[in-house]
Amino acid sequence: MEEVDQIVIHTLRQIGCDLDEDTTSLKQFTTEITVEGVVRCLRLINPELNLPIRVSPNMVARYNLGMALASACTELGFKGDLGYQTFLYSNETEMRRIFMFLFEKLPKESEKVVDQQLGKSAIVLRAISEQISLQLKTPWLPAYCKKDGIRSTGQRWWREDYSNCTRLKTCKLVLPHKGASHVIRPIWEQTLEANDVVPSILELNTAALVQEQEQEAEMHQAGLLTKGSQQEFKQRKKERIQKRILDAFRRVAISLDEKQTLEVVSSARPRMTEDTLRDKGSKFARAEKLQFTKDEQPQNVSSHNEMLRTPKKTSEQEAEAKVAALQQEMHNVAQTLEQLENQEKELSASLMQIGEDIIQKKSKTAELESKNQLEHKALTLLPNAEENILKLQQKIDGAAQTLLSLSAQWEKHRAPLIEQYRDLKEQCSKRLSETQQKLEEIKSMRDKMKDIQEQARNKDELHKQLLSEYEKLVKDVSRSAYTKRIYEIVGNIKKQKEEIAKVLMDTKALQKEINHLTGKLDRTFTVTDELIFKDAKKDEAVRRAYKYLAAVHENSNQLLQAVEDTGAILREVRDLEDQIEQESQKKVVANLERITADYKQMKQENASLLAQLKAE
């Protein structure tokens, strides 16, 4: 059991137990060491368990801790009788069984590697789900029992009262980049309130992440996986965006030019007469008038300026009257322009309608002309109707023969063309199917490439993490020593198996030889008994020999029985010695002394409690 004890001690040191260098066996374990080792194992198996590592001097707390450890081990599936006495008054054999059981339940390294390969997001989601399930399992607690709305269970705490929380508000943030960091304010100064900083950063980060995912999806759909093709795609997209921006600027500039033209027209014609308003001339005439009125614009502007300077010299009433007159005049000009635009729209619509009517009439005229030509030809053929009918019949027959010959020739050419068309169609369909298959293969290869890239990225991260952990490990430990020790243990086990097999073979051979000799002895006695018994009636010496033979046979049987009884007694002695050794390993005397001390301590605690009750 020394190897098992060494494995147990080494494992306990690895999980954080502070054991002395002199500790080489489970016999040297105290109650404190035993409880600490079991608690650390249970915490690694189930992190939700909140059990103290140190043993309290209070007997009630020690009893509760022992019962909690027993129930935790039973829930994990330990088969055997467990109680508080198993941990408080432990023995070597039971603790060896319990520790080996707990070591088997510890999380394996492969499970940790799987968690690392899942990625950070999956691990975070798993942790969130575990926290939510833990909070849902906890019983309800009134609000006045939670200070500041915070509830804690051991090393974990969370908030359950959200009365002092604020609403989620975000602001648009501008990240300071290189070259403009002295112009852009820091992020925490761009929000109106300090509580809006974190939501705004989360929104900005989410928007950037979504944009990056959309770009990756767009590139993946376009089939751009290499770095050069991605850069070309980004450059083309940048050029398209710049072209759209330029087109938008041009449209805005054109609309601004139109507005400025209308303003010039409205300012250039401040005083139009009613005859001019009723004028329904063409666009050319109106444009010509506008062209001539542009030259008069500076004079009108100067007259307006003079009129604006006059209010300083005249009274306020005259100025208001002039302003009202000018506003009325501007209103009239705007109405006039609107009427002219409406008239222009009506004229353009009427022109379009007239153009459509002309096109329809031209088509009708062409149809009538074709009908007229046919009727004219028919009228010219009426004087010699019979001859003309015969000529027409001959022409019709000739045309029919021509059609028949042409159809026969077409059939001759049509058959190979149809065959060629069918062959080409089949080839095209085959090519399409092959192309579709190749496209599907390309898509599957792209998906595989993406998965392989993701796996390579995860493995790179895992490799970096393992390298960092390897650098943190102690380099003094020699792996060859462990492997050598393992080989020695395996060799010892093989030797023990060989010795056991040899002992079993010897035992079987001895048993076989004993059975053979016993049978031979019985047969010899039977034959000798028969031979001597025949002559025993005739000769006195033979009769005495027969009696001696019976006595020898009986004594030999007694000797054999005595040997068998001696062997059984020796086996019982060995069993009793083993039981004595097992009982000695259970530390009965030490446990009795410890139980006696705990009993005295409980008496003292009860006496102190009674004294306190009496004093109250």
Q: 3-state SS string over 73-112?
A: HHHHCCCCCCCHHHHHCCCHHHHHHHHHHHHHHCCCHHHH
pLDDT: which is higher, 143 or 521: 521
The CA dihedral of 518, 521, 523, 524, to the nearest 10 degrees, is: 170
* Cα dist from 510 to 130, 476, 496, 519, 557, whole Å: 65, 53, 21, 14, 18
Decide: helix, strand or coil at residue 294: helix
Range 86-109 burial, b when 16+ CB lie within 10 A, else e: bbbbbbbebbbebbebbeeeeeee
pLDDT of 281 reads 44
52 contacts 39 by C-beta, under 8 angstroms: yes
Encode pLDDT of 329-380 as tens digits. 777 877 887 888 788 778 878 888 888 888 888 888 988 888 888 777 777 7
- What is the pLDDT averaged over residues 377-400? 80
Instruction: Say how many residues make up the chain.
Output: 616
At residue 110, the pLDDT reads 42
Q: What is the average per-residue pLDDT within 585-604?
A: 75
Q: Which pLDDT score, from 0 to 100, does residue 473 have?
A: 61
Report yes or no: 203 and 170 within 8 Å, Cβ to Cβ: yes
Q: What is the mean pLDDT of residues 585-601?
A: 74
CB 333 within 8 A of CB 272: yes
Backbone angles phi, psi at 476, to 5 degrees: -75, -25
- State pLDDT tens for residues 472-520: 665 555 567 667 778 888 888 899 999 999 999 998 998 899 888 888 8
Chain-centroid distance of CA 277 in Å reads 75
Residue 127: predicted pLDDT: 78
List pLDDT tens digits, range 250-285.
776 666 555 555 554 455 444 444 444 444 444 444
**Do residues 90 and 591 touch, judged by C-beta distance below 8 A?**
no
Residue corresponding to tokens 């602001």? 171
Which residue in 45, 30, 36, 32 sits closest to 13, CA to CA? 36
What is the SS3 assignment for 153? strand
| pLDDT at residue 161 in the model | 62
pLDDT, position 382: 72
- 386 pLDDT exceeds 60? yes
Q: Say what the alpha-carbon torsion angle 316, 321, 324, 329 is, to the nearest 10 degrees.
A: -140
Q: For residue 156, list its beta bridge partners.
A: 153
Q: What span, in angstroms and rounded, lies between the C-alpha atoms of 267 and 301? A: 8
In Å, how far from its chain's centre is CA 430? 41
* Alpha carbons 192 and 346: distance in angstroms, whole number: 56
DSSP assignment string, 360-378: HHHHHHHHHHHHHHHHHHH
Secondary-structure percent of the chain, ordered helix, strand, coil, rounded to 5 = 80, 0, 20
Backbone angles phi, psi at 22, to 5 degrees: -80, -10
Residues 6+ apart with CB under 8 A from 8: 26, 96, 99, 100, 103
Please give the Cα distance from 223 to 232 (Å, whole number). Answer: 12
Alpha carbons 1 and 10: distance in angstroms, whole number = 14
Output the pLDDT for position 498.
92
Residues 6+ apart with CB under 8 A from 537: 543
- For residue 224, the model assigns a pLDDT of 58
Spatial distance between the Cα atoms of 49 and 454, rounded to a whole number of angstroms = 36
Phi, psi of 13 (to 5 degrees): -65, -35
What is this structure's pTM?
0.34
Q: What mean pLDDT is predicted for residues 72-92?
A: 83
Output the CA–CA distances (angstroms, integers) from residue 206 to 172, 194, 199, 364, in the order listed: 13, 20, 10, 68
Indicate the pLDDT class of residue 82, thresholds 50, 70 and 90: confident
pLDDT digits (tens, 9 = 90+) for 161-176: 666 667 778 888 887 7
Residues 6+ apart with CB under 8 A from 300: 267, 268, 270
What's the whole-number mean pLDDT along residues 71-88? 84
Asked if residue 262 lies in contact with residue 337, where contact means CB atoms within 8 angstroms, the answer is: yes
DSSP-assigned letter for residue 179: T
151 pairs with which residues across the strands? 158
Domain ranges, ordered by start, for the chain: 2-159, 166-223, 269-369, 383-473, 479-598
Q: What percent of the chain has pLDDT over 90?
A: 3
Other CB atoms within 10 A of residue 324 CB: 10
Phi-psi region of 178 (alpha: psi -120 to 50; beta: other; left: phi over 0): beta
- Mean predicted lDDT score pLDDT of the chain: 77
> For residues 123 and 115, is the Cβ–Cβ distance under 8 A?
yes
SS3 call for 152: strand
Q: What DSSP line would sit under 441-502, residue for residue?
A: HHHHHHHHHHHHHHHHHHHHHHHHHHHHHHHHS-TT--HHHHHHHHHHHHHHHHHHHHHHHH
Residue 289 in this model has a pLDDT that exceeds 60:
no
Identity of residue 181: S
**What does the pLDDT look like over 182-220, one tens digit per residue?**
667 788 888 888 888 888 888 889 988 888 888 777 776
What's the token pair of residue 292? 């001539």
